[in-house]
Amino acid sequence: MATPVPVQQIAEDIRRLQSKVSDLQGSVRLAKARDAVEDLQTTVNSTAQRIATLRTLGYVFEKDLENQAQAFVESWALLYPNLQSQINSQSTTLMNSLRPIEMQMPQLNVMAGNPAAARGLLGSIQSAVVMLEDKVLATEKTIEGMYDQFNNQVYQLTKHLNEIEYLATQLAEATFQLLPTESGIAAIKAVWCKTGKEQKGDPEGVLFLTDQRILFEQKEEIVTKKVLFVATEKQKVQQLQIECSVILVDKMETSKQGMMKNEDHIEIRFASGAPVEMVHFHIWQDNATWLQLINRAKSRGFDNGRAVAIDQTAVEKAKAAPVQCPNCGGTITEVVMRGMDRIKCEYCGFVIRL
């Protein structure tokens, strides 16, 4: 490969330097910091409406969500003016630092045909550009530090609202319906590992947790025809595969699986009377989080934080359910959940209306 002649090398170095200066003309205005601040303001101001929409969609838990959103608005009202002032002040300082560099660039371009003369000025401007680039980065970091803690708090709430919105969407699309007064708590993408170890062909879908049940709905497209190993026909499969009262959860274990041990798994064992003895899921969320959610649902820990009170008539109706079949005298083993309007005797098949 031929070595560039000095004139060509200087011309290339000047071109690269001009590109950096052009980039600096945008960065010294702190456009990145301004955009980040404006995005955060949009997020803060939209949070209350997102929560209101989730309430209309049936999310009844965490009654403090509205207060949390309002607290963010009030905190931001105090923080935002200071951020704007700091950005404007620092931006002015940085733009002033750029002007000497901009003024020297035409002189450098004139000297491009004389490498020996241009090299000194080129090196000087390059050093000034590096220093200014570092100063911009330091300024951006300083401004970010002014609201970093607040931003993290908003991020956590936003992430949580995203999860609740996913729950609402999946419930709206589900083939099953919640019981009257039953409310969804969480939903996550999951694979039902039928043998306790994930295998090809295991049902994929959504794992739901409500304040009364654990449900898994298969929801996937299955290849029905291939041509030369390429899928040519698919069939959408969506059906409820598992439902069980959360109070029948007996034991739970979590594990990390996969080649990199980065897959979250949870195994749930149920007490006597449940339709299944054990289920094992690969879930797309931290398994410790789901362990806590299920335990909290089982202990009715979500009830105290409800934004909408439980219908006590439905509670009393469930408590008053018969323990013996009026037709055959057999013991009723089915768990009576709030909102159920009938139960069925497993011995004689008699339907008891509640």
113 and 202 belong to one structural domain: no
Answer yes or no: is 176 within a domain: no
Do 106 and 217 have their domain in common?
Answer: no
In a shared domain, residues 164 and 23: yes
What's 331's DSSP letter?
B
179 part of a folded domain: no
In a domain, residue 255? The reply is yes
The answer to whether residue 345 is domain-embedded is yes
Task: Check whether residue 158 and residue 32 sit in a common domain.
Answer: yes
Domain boundary among 136, 169, 202: 169
- In this structure, are 138 and 193 located in the same domain? no
* Residue 14 domain-assigned (yes or no): yes
Q: Is 175 inside any structural domain? A: no
The per-residue pLDDT for 4 is 56
Indicate the SS3 state at residue 209. Answer: strand
- Confirm if 24 and 94 have CB atoms less than 8 A apart: no
CB atoms within 10 A of CB 99: 10
Is residue 93 assigned to a domain?
yes
CB-hemisphere CA count at 13 Å for 287? 19
* C-alpha 146, offset from chain centre: 25
Residues 243 and 127 in one domain: no
* Residue numbers of the domain that contains 198: 184-305
Query: Are residues 196 and 155 part of one domain?
Result: no
Residue-wise pLDDT tens for the chain (354 aa)?
Answer: 444 558 888 889 889 999 999 999 989 999 999 999 999 999 999 999 999 999 999 999 999 999 999 999 999 999 999 999 999 999 999 999 999 999 999 988 888 788 888 888 889 999 999 999 999 999 999 999 999 999 999 999 999 999 999 999 999 999 999 998 999 999 999 999 999 899 999 999 999 999 999 999 999 988 777 777 777 778 899 999 999 999 999 999 999 998 888 999 999 999 988 899 999 999 999 999 999 999 999 999 999 999 988 888 888 888 888 888 889 888 888 888 888 888 888 888 888 888
- Give the Å distances, CA to CA, from 113 to 19, 82, 123, 132, 142: 19, 49, 16, 27, 42
Q: Is 1 a member of any domain?
A: no
Tokens representing residue 65 in the block: 């969500």
73 and 159: one domain?
yes
**CATH code of residue 244:** 2.30.29.30
- If one counts the domains in the chain, the total is 3
Are residues 257 and 238 part of one domain?
yes
* Crossing angle of helices 6-27 and 65-110, rounded to 10°: 150
Same domain, 245 and 136: no
Please indicate, yes or no, whether residues 161 and 225 belong to a single structural domain of this protein: no
Cα→Cα distances 176→110, 172, 214, 270, Å? 76, 9, 12, 22
Instruction: Answer yes or no: do 352 and 298 share one domain.
Output: no
